[in-house]
Amino acid sequence: MTLESVKTELEIEFDNPWEAYVVAKSLEVEIDSSPGDRTSTRFKRVNNILKLEVDAVDSTSQRAALNSYLRWIILAVDVLKLK
């Protein structure tokens, strides 16, 4: 059985709107420069919540994209902790 497409929606709540803004700005570069045509990613920030939507043609592409975006989010949060 093969899935035709996979969609994931994540909501990540930050301590304050500024942290969500910084993480969102850091993700813009990754989303704008994404070379793949197997996934499509959108995000928006509402106050201190970052909403991320990833659509993929298959579960393998979905997992790879989610792993990448979650690693970038974790990295951005870790950098914020250095301040």
Rounded to two decimals, what is the model's pTM?
0.84
Asked if residue 1 is part of any domain, the answer here is no
Number of domains composing the chain:
1
Q: Give the list of residues 6+ apart from residue 37 with CB closer than 8 angstroms, or none.
A: none
Asked if residue 40 is part of any domain, the answer here is yes
Please give the pLDDT value at position 30. 83
Asked if residue 26 is part of any domain, the answer here is yes
Angle (nearest 5°) at CA 57 between 20 and 63: 50
The half-sphere exposure of 37 on its side-chain side, counting CA atoms within 13 A, is 0
Q: Cβ(44)–Cβ(29) under 8 Å?
A: no
Question: Which residues lie across from 40 on neighbouring strands?
Answer: 55
Biggest distance spanned by C-alpha atoms of the chain: 49
Q: Which range of residues forms the domain containing residue 72?
A: 6-81
Please give the pLDDT value at position 48. 96
CATH label of the domain that carries residue 38: 3.30.310.50
Residue 6 to residue 57: CA distance in whole angstroms: 6
Mean pLDDT per block of 10 residues along the chain (83 residues) reads 81 96 91 78 94 92 92 93 82
